Amino acid sequence: MLGKAAGWGIMGRSAIWLPRAGTVFLFVFLWSLLVRIGDYPPFILPGPERVAARLWALAAEGALWRHWWATAVEVGLGLGLGVTVGLALAYPLAHWRLFEQMMTPYLVASQAVPIIAVAPLLIIWFGPGLLARVLVSALVAFFPILVSAIAGFRQVPLEWRELFRSLQATRWQTFWKLEWPAALPVIFGGLKISATLSVIGAFVGELISADRGIGFLIKQGQGLYDTPLVFGGILLLASQALLLYGAISALEHRWVRR
Amino acid sequence: MRHRFLVPSLLLVALTACQALAGLPAPATPTPIRLPMGYIANVQFAPFYVALEKGYFAQEGIELSFDYSFETNGVQLVGAGQLPFALVSGEQVPLARAQGLPVVMIAQWYQRYPIAVFALAEKGIRTPPDLRGRKVGLPGFFGASYVGFKALLYASGLRDEEVEAVDLGGFTQVAAVKEGKVDAAVGYINNEPLVLRRAGFAVNVIDVADHTALVGNGILTNERTIRDDPDLVRRFLRAFLRGLRDTLRDPREAFEISKKYVEGLSGENEAAQWEVLQATLPLWQAEMPGRSDLRAWQEMVNVLVRMGQLKEPGDIGAMFTNAFVEELWPLVEQGR
């Protein structure tokens, strides 16, 4: 029975990866077909082979990894900061109504401010270094995790809370043994959104001020009318978002669904 | 096959040119043209506001509207044939052509490259060598400011690594200089240094155009428009040149007209903005406004190659044409 289950597991993985690879091939094929049928010049729509060649040239110069890593560091720090602040605020917001009523207008308003307008100010206040770009990424990332964590903490069934109360559990025990595990599935949902948004945040920060990173590459590509480089940059950004999403899904699978 | 169409085509072009020069009535249906300006609404666009207000574009059968979008967007739209004209800085032309965009500058409106390095006088930065070892802020590592800054360094024998360039992430040079975040900054000679001076600071300015000749802002079109619709180019350019002529002759009138198109030209900003226009006029003046100098194009292309933004110079002669300006300006100057 176990052997059969394990066998199905391997088959199941293949069954997932094959269609995924198929959609990638289909996407590249349709993209290539569109370029050929439309006979578009590369500055309007470069074909996949041109984009691949541009990325290859960048890798040969040793620049690809340097820019990819610069953005990855900003995304990692930005997401880490955003998640930390989001979770730290979520618990009191979920439990103390007065605190929630005081803070909610500011939190909602903070999300209505276009990040592209705020980013240059952050650069002036904190200087054109890593810190400003990490803050931009964190600002974008923290709201989804905050909202999802509040929802997660509040969804714990009342009878479970009463059970913990009847067992005279401390606040910490209630949090660690009940609220946190119960909220985790919802928190992971918010974390996935925060992760992809943190990539956008780091990109916006680099677009405003940077001398390296994928945003810098894309800006260079735009400034030099090098559309294959712009497309290459977009693919690099997508690769980071996909990697993060995959890593979080794996963690979710390990911690929540086992 | 091609020759069969060549003679009638040339006759048609000649006929439309004669019609246009004779000042015949404009086409019954006006041609709508959206013009990417590459910057926000500003008194520096006064010649266009004057030409529009006085009906010069309407007389040419053109219904002009302004699009205050990014410079690179305008270049791409013109290169792709989506729009016929855009206002761009000179260095955009070789950069775009290197990527296959068939764009051509038809009038170099800014005869002097308008970029300068400015610093508070207390920093003691008066000449390019004073920048050695200093921190210089730029709105970004792209565009006219970046090219002008690099050209200044190269013309002065400075190496890239001798001056620390800082990306300020936008047009925040004045704040960065005032707060001492950088020793100097790069900006438009008719804008940022004036703002600082009006705020009461003593400012030193290094004018890039005093050290090297580069191609300033101008009007861009594409090869297809020149080939297939040269009459449109003539009509558009004539209306612009008439606006430019009037602005140079009567700046005060141009300023008053600009108030209708630019927010904040009245009230407390009026004196400062009037100063901006006055500082801008010398950048446009020339014996034949709008004419390009081949040596400036060569110099600029050399700078771009040295910066690594261009792999090779490309066909410099294809980047601009003086044909339209040389044909139209003498007539416009005579009041036609």
Range of the domain at B64: 2-112+215-333
Shared domain for B97 and B222, answered yes or no, is yes
Question: How far is B289 from B106, CA to CA, in rounded Å?
Answer: 12
Shared domain for A119 and A155, answered yes or no, is yes
Tell if the CB–CB gap between B168 and A220 is shorter than 8 Å: no
Residues A53-78: tens digit of each pLDDT: 999 999 998 899 999 999 999 999 99
HSE-up of A86 (CA within 13 Å, CB side)?
Answer: 29
Higher pLDDT, A61 or B217: B217
Region B23-30: what's the mean pLDDT? 63
Q: Which backbone phi and psi does B164 adopt, to 5 degrees?
A: -85, 110
Beta bridge partners of B108: B290
Residues B59-110: tens digit of each pLDDT: 999 999 999 988 888 999 999 999 999 999 999 999 999 999 999 999 999 9
Residues A154-174: tens digit of each pLDDT: 999 999 999 999 999 999 999
DSSP-derived letter for residue B161 is: G
Region B28-40: what's the mean pLDDT? 90
- Give yes or no for residue A1 having a pLDDT over 70: no
Tell if the CB–CB gap between A128 and B168 is shorter than 8 Å: yes
pLDDT of residue A233: 96
When divided into structural domains, chain B yields a total of: 2
Question: How far is B273 from B232, CA to CA, in rounded Å?
Answer: 33
Question: How far is B295 from A85, CA to CA, in rounded Å?
Answer: 57
Shared domain for A178 and A52, answered yes or no, is yes
CB-CB neighbors (< 8 A) of B168 in chain A: 123-124, 128, 209
- Give yes or no for residue B297 having a pLDDT over 70: yes
Residues B236-250: tens digit of each pLDDT: 999 999 999 999 999
When mean pLDDT is compared over A222-231, B38-47, B244-253, the highest value belongs to B244-253
Q: Count contacts between A and B (CB, < 8 Å).
A: 65
Residue of A209, A216, A231 to mutate, interface with B, max B Cβ within 10 Å: A209
Which ipTM did the prediction report? 0.71
DSSP-derived letter for residue A186 is: H
Beta bridge partners of B167: B138
Task: Give me the residue label for tokens 């070789």.
Answer: B94
A5-9, B9-13, B80-84, B158-162: segment of lowest average pLDDT? B9-13
CB-CB neighbors (< 8 A) of B175 in chain A: 124
**The CATH number of the domain where B65 resides is what?**
3.40.190.10
Shared domain for B181 and B238, answered yes or no, is no
Region A130-135: what's the mean pLDDT? 92
Count the Cβ atoms, other than its own, within 10 Å of residue A125. Answer: 10
Contact A210, A79 (CB under 8 A): no
CB-CB neighbors (< 8 A) of A219 in chain B: 140, 142
Question: How far is B315 from B103, CA to CA, in rounded Å?
Answer: 12
pLDDT of residue A11: 56
Shared domain for B119 and B254, answered yes or no, is no
Shared domain for B188 and B122, answered yes or no, is yes
Shared domain for B127 and B87, answered yes or no, is no
Q: Count of residues for chain A?
A: 258
Shared domain for A4 and A24, answered yes or no, is yes
Contact A215, A207 (CB under 8 A): yes
pTM of the model: 0.79
Residues A23-55: tens digit of each pLDDT: 999 999 999 999 999 988 888 899 999 999 999
Q: Looking at B175, B210, B245, which one is the last position of a domain?
A: B210
Question: How far is A206 from A198, CA to CA, in rounded Å?
Answer: 12
HSE-up of B152 (CA within 13 Å, CB side)?
Answer: 31
Region B264-270: what's the mean pLDDT? 84
Give the chain A residue whose CA is nearest to the CA of B80. A44
Please, is A161 exposed, middle or buried when counting C-beta atoms within 10 Å of its C-beta (0-12, 13-18, 19+)?
middle
Alpha helix segments (H runs only) across chain A: 2-38, 48-61, 63-95, 97-112, 115-126, 130-154, 158-166, 171-173, 180-208, 214-223, 227-255
Shared domain for B152 and B195, answered yes or no, is yes
Residue A211 contacts B, CB cutoff 8 Å: yes
Tell if the CB–CB gap between B99 and A43 is shorter than 8 Å: yes
Q: Looking at B182, B210, B238, which one is the last position of a domain?
A: B210
Tell if the CB–CB gap between A209 and B168 is shorter than 8 Å: yes
- Give yes or no for residue B111 having a pLDDT over 90: yes
Residue B118 identity: F
What percent of chain A stands above pLDDT 90?
A: 68
CB-CB neighbors (< 8 A) of A211 in chain B: 141, 167
Shared domain for B133 and B99, answered yes or no, is no
Shared domain for A147 and A128, answered yes or no, is yes
Region B210-227: what's the mean pLDDT? 96
